[in-house]
Amino acid sequence: MKKGLKIAIIVVSSLLALILAALAAFLVLNNMGKLQFHKNDTNITNSIIEEDEEGIIYKGSKYKLSSDVVSFLLIGIDKGSLNDNLGIGLNGQADTLLVGAVNTKTKSISVIPISRETLVDVNRYNTSGGYTGVSNEQICLAFAYGNDIKQSSDNVLLSVSRVLYGINISSYITMDLAALEKLSNSVGSIDVYVNEDYYDADFGTRYKAGQTIKVRGKSAVNYIHWRTDAVDANNYRMQRQKSFITSFMNKVSNEISKDFSKVITYYNLMQPYVSTNISLSQTTYLATNCMSMNLGDAIDFKNIPGETFNKDGYSAFVPDEKALTEIVIETFYEKIPEKSEEVSSK
């Protein structure tokens, strides 16, 4: 064999080995990411479902947790910077709580917005960090009882799990108001719907309900953060958050489809303003499964019905148990076919 041909074979073989090694590493990361999302899966329990060895029983049908659904919690806090640690009780509140559930089989995303005013058991800690028990209060306060971002975020995760009847969501992305402003400025203006008369004090602009306006940067922060003193004010704010997220994600996915390097741009931009426990392998798994989606259009918002009322001078929200149970089952479970269904499908 000629020397040149030998060299060519060695080079090609080396390239193939590198490609195979890279592919193997990617597959390992991808599989690890899925397993990490499901490492502490638990079934729901409440007064209207039955437990079963395979999962749960609801209205005579059996369901099991879907291995195709991975979930995380987006926590938006009501202060300018995550890095300002003021101590337990003073580190801000969880103003925005969005449970994201990505179904990798159907290529769809469900988002369950949880009202900051939802009454739930919250673990409390004193200023020295000592556990002092559980109290039933607004879920937004769960973030305040942490001594750092991780402890605060973990405390919110625990209360969110309680709201969702025990569904375990162990991954979080926590961001401050500065993150939203920076990212919104980077993406540019987007169209959003005004669902109530609204005054943007920073810009001295009044908007009427029914308008579609453009927001970016500080005006985007004001749009999703502002609310009145009415008992149901947060319900209106959650509707505006939905409008913003849908338009924002559509624009981001369009930008990334034109230039994939935008992913790195957005990632680097967000790093100083975001805290997360989502690992590289989990990120790889999510990114791989979301690449083919038009993210904004793929999102299905699951609004939780319930009762909003005044409790001791504060707004409080209690979800409708039946409606929320059905949302959780629809989002996280898959139906187990009955024997007759299995036979007829063969």
- Residue 25: pLDDT band (50, 70, 90) is very low
Read off the pLDDT of residues 28-51 as tens digits, 9 standing for 90 and up.
445 566 667 777 888 999 999 999
Instruction: State the amino acid at position 306 in one-letter form.
Output: G
- Cβ contact 329:58 at 8 Å: yes
- Can you state the percent helix, strand and coil of the chain, rounding each to 5? 45, 25, 30
Helices (H), 259-338: 262-270, 280-290, 295-298, 321-332
pLDDT of residue 129: 80
Read off the pLDDT of residues 301-332 as tens digits, 9 standing for 90 and up.
999 999 999 998 899 999 999 999 999 999 99
Q: Cα 169 to the chain's mean position, in Å?
A: 10
Give 273's DSSP letter: G
In 3-state terms, what secondary structure has residue 74? strand
Q: How far is CA 132 from CA 43, 154, 189, in A?
A: 28, 16, 46
- Cβ contact 243:192 at 8 Å: yes
- Cβ contact 327:319 at 8 Å: no
Q: How far is CA 50 from CA 44, 46, 337, in A?
A: 9, 8, 17
- Cβ contact 134:122 at 8 Å: yes
Interval 280-296 mean pLDDT: 69
Q: How far is CA 39 from CA 148, 168, 328, in A?
A: 24, 9, 19
pLDDT of residue 15: 55
Give 337's DSSP letter: P
Q: Which residues pair with 55 in a beta bridge?
A: 52
Which residues, at least 6 apart from 233, have a Cβ–Cβ distance to it below 8 Å? 227, 315
Q: What are phi and psi of 170, to 5 degrees?
A: -105, -5
Share above pLDDT 70 across residues of the chain, in percent, rounded to a whole number: 81
In 3-state terms, what secondary structure has residue 49? coil
Q: Which domains does the chain have, with CATH numbers?
A: 38-345 (3.40.630.190)
The C-alpha atoms of residue 103 and residue 107 are separated, in whole angstroms, by 6
In 3-state terms, what secondary structure has residue 320? coil
- Residue 22: pLDDT band (50, 70, 90) is very low
Helices (H), 176-232: 177-187, 218-225
Q: What are phi and psi of 213, to 5 degrees?
A: -125, 170
Q: Burial code of 256-286, b = ≥16 C-beta within 10 A, e = fewer?
A: beeeeebeeebeebbeebbbbbbeebbebbb
Read off the pLDDT of residues 202-240 as tens digits, 9 standing for 90 and up.
999 999 999 999 999 999 999 998 888 889 899 999 999
Read off the pLDDT of residues 189-201 as tens digits, 9 standing for 90 and up.
999 999 999 899 8
The average confidence (pLDDT) of the chain is 83
Choose from 75-79, 119-123, 296-300, 340-344 the range with maximum mean pLDDT.
119-123
Read off the pLDDT of residues 92-116 as tens digits, 9 standing for 90 and up.
889 899 999 988 888 888 999 999 9
Radius of gyration for the alpha carbons in the chain, expressed in angstroms and rounded: 23
Interval 19-23 mean pLDDT: 47
